[in-house]
Amino acid sequence: MTKISRIKVDSRHLGFFINNFWNLITLLENKDQVASFLKDLLTHTEMKMFAKRIQIAKMLLEGKDYRTIRNYVKVSDTTIATISNKIETGGEGLKVAIQFLKGVEKNIEEERLRITPDLKKMYGAYFIPEKIIEKASNRIRAVNKKNSIKRDIQL
């Protein structure tokens, strides 16, 4: 867990430091600049901690339960509860950020769906395993459905 120095900082200075941090974040112009800045500023552990907290917030706002979040993100119930508490007692910053994130994810997915058919036409052989798996999955679903109907009729 990250630790803070025990040496006290004047609250006016600390306020100035924090304000500089906010200003720096808002002045960075693109994802590459933000990534470079945060990689230089944060340790690997701190980066993981922030990323996990964002994922927890996203999943909570999607209505996921603690068990699902705990198993997916690999965090404790205490960590989930901390983020949940932030969301429930305001959390407007988190909510807005997650909405932005969902918008970005939606755009990426739409772009992927738009591009994929063209790629399948151009590189058909590359997608053969995917097509085989898709056909096998559809066949298994059909057989399972048929068997389920037979069981229902026998009852």
pTM reported for the whole predicted model: 0.66
Using CA atoms, how far apart are residues 40 and 38, in angstroms rounded to an integer?
Answer: 5
For residues 79 and 56, the answer to whether their CB atoms sit within 8 Å is yes
The Cα-based distances of 139 to 127, 133, 143, 145 in angstroms read 18, 10, 6, 10
CATH architecture label of 11-115: Orthogonal Bundle (1.10)
Handedness of CA 22, 28, 29, 32 (dihedral sign): negative
Percent pLDDT > 90 in the chain is 52
Mean pLDDT rounded to a whole number for the chain: 86
Domain locations in the chain?
A: 11-115, 123-155
Q: What is the pLDDT of residues 70-88, one digit of tens each?
A: 999 999 999 999 999 999 9
- pLDDT confidence tier of residue 47, bands split at 50, 70 and 90: very high
